[in-house]
Structure 1
């Protein structure tokens, strides 16, 4: 049990009677209520999975005390507090915070918070409108405002849905054994004798689907090098449900079949310009995570050098273009479950992992995600970086069974030759060393990647031995320069430019060399009496030691 977007843990020492920080607990409850709901376990330490052995909740009135203090300090927050017994027979307090589907929770002093990953973050004033829009989107699926009777369905779509649920490997036998109506109730397709918005979307008749406020529509348009439209596929007649829309995009667009052969000697590999798995995930994201309370079609624009997928609305609150690889929030929870259970999408939080892995594994650049006030655009480049990168990734994938995160990390290093720990952490949105190790996985143990330096100067690079084995010819740069060559560069530089500051030396020998590596080498050369230094901080200057 680790802390995440749905779970928070606190020591029993948090409860200090009159000195308890109730405001802090209220803030945490507000943040959960404004996100997906969650649990706060009081009596379990942050790094532990169970409470301390023999721990007892002495004051049996504690649940009522906690509930009362939360209610006094919050607005629109609903909680349930109970005393629980863990596997080791120790006791702890469980606070369940229910998600606010329609209202926005706050503290009584007018402050707003939301749970993002494992942190409680304040909501700035300019983001309140966005959070309010997300509130409406969360309840859209279950609404029955159209009052379409549950008996008014498209028979073929209903039959197909029931059959696909019962044939899916992702659906439990308990659900498969339900009656047809029970299955529709379970997936929120129908409610109280009516089709929900989700039900109309999936099994409703065309006229009812068209009457939804903003039913999904997709336009696929190909442009030439003069930005003139040369071909289009319009899926805006409301005959198709989301699954059928996805299938039409994947099957009826010829561009997904185009590829280029990369060959060198015995090596042969066809690389699709737009891998079908990438197209599938991005279209699914556009359908599942879009705001159905916002007007706009999904556009798939295909240019000679790229593909752009435009989805109406903004990213879910808490997700940004920078953290999209590590952060996942379901806006349309029930629609997401239908897509997942029917095998149409990856599990929550792994869709962009797949996109990154497929692109990097094919030697292609990372996708670009752009968010504006009206839409989200994902850009996938058509070209690949180099055939050498393709060969390297193909060799690594065939020789080792790499996990998705390992494939992404290796692909990033293969395209840039090396990264500092700070650089690769920034790309992967990992703030802690433990998180970065999780992404690198076994790459170092498998000797595919080498690690040099310490602290801020830590650098990761593809192992030169593996590169030599496959005759890899990457682009030349100084990022991976060996220490003895760096020492020689510094020595030659100071021979020509004595009494130089660090910034001057770094500028002349190459800014692509990690600055921490250069500082380390300068200190080492001073300690070895190869160089002398005068001054301190910004006035520090280096020269060659004359008595060498």
Structure 2
């Protein structure tokens, strides 16, 4: 067991990690027990440390953790030991030690990972999956049905389950014929091609007998079901292709997006979605001297196809939500329900973790997808081959969502280099230059995205981002896994300011207009005149929050100062967000509760249940994010 002093030193180098969590240590509350549960459950983590009596001072630009001490060590130890023995489905015996660091007593708690057969650990009064937690980065996340499958090593996946109310009449013969043609191209001698349709579908586990009748499994309905059947049985399983003018989500309410809704057999849907997006993409060609065949300068078709197929193959079909392909002026974002079963740091490495085994097998056999984990590596290689930014990926376990982002922009072109000359005095390396261009296009960058852009490790990414922050080119927001970087003073300075980028940038209100190589970027910023809120960093004056209407004020005042049941508080949050979009700072002000408590206890579940939604959905961690009712 490591000493508390060494753990604090590590915190100051790396911030909170998957194996170290910091608590102030006033009492053993729910958040401490959630971390105990997460450390005990997380596969392959080997357990983790909780430090009570340590906090981040917040007085410096970067993490600065120090020992502040705990008051009553005996009571704290007794409370933790007794609750760990009683609140879970099985007793947990953490290793608890009291150490003196810088003259203050710190309680160090080591929680071992449970053996495979003993998982999952969960809160006894909540049951599964809601009462179980996993350690995802430096955060504790509620488990989903997919997590339970991981714990129990169940061979039954969702796509193998029977679809009640289905029959052979729900099949699409065109989809079956299309599968046969694709399979024949890969292996004309494949044995299954000699089967009749019923034998073929049975061999693919797409149909099965129930009570003497043939019924479809979810694999059968999704791969070979007709559009009519899918609309009746799985109405939210579709692909929405959304075309948004500009670079941010509905920036102009008078010029809203257009959308194409698509559903049907996944095999046919993959091609249809690809064609819809590819027809919209700008095309450029280069004819090298002495060559007879032109080279495409646009987004490689194989990259787009791989991203769409991955979304269809790996999405969680337990979640009643469509896949969204959002086409902005400068990028494509593909959002599918279901976090990545493979950690984002290992995407592109050999090996694949599959959520829908039978659907994945069919995609593999028809050569629409590979199952060796090399698809993302190929996407990165193809994008770099045409001088474009590599694709970036974001997996949100709490929101149960995965996002693939493809920038439609050639990196480090002559125009980019001219723009970057404005920052020559800072001596930036190529990695940092790429990050500045990415921020200009998207509005923010985090450590994970930085690593994906530049192919570097966590420590190098952290140091280079810190260097950008020291020069005030970026501004750090959040902490731990939620840390991200937005344009800083130097990046947002007008052209007249020394060191400002070529072409200049102007800041008006919360918007930012970037002129450089002919693009206008509003960087996902948002101006909400209705709320008259002024945001500067993360600080916000209470004077900027308008008075509530009488009926809403009465509802909020009835909440009481202390305990409020879940439903009552959720209704109050929904009422506030229905009145007008609310930030977490505003909810904290109106409800008189800590914003972290409100988000973890109420807002997070409302988002997951689709009763709340983001005002800026393409960037959940945006500094000006607000929430509104669905």
- What band does the TM-score fall into relative to the shorter chain? 0.3 to 0.5
TM-score normalised according to structure 2 size: 0.40
Based on CA coordinates, which of the two structures has the bigger radius of gyration? 1
TM-score normalised according to structure 1 size: 0.46
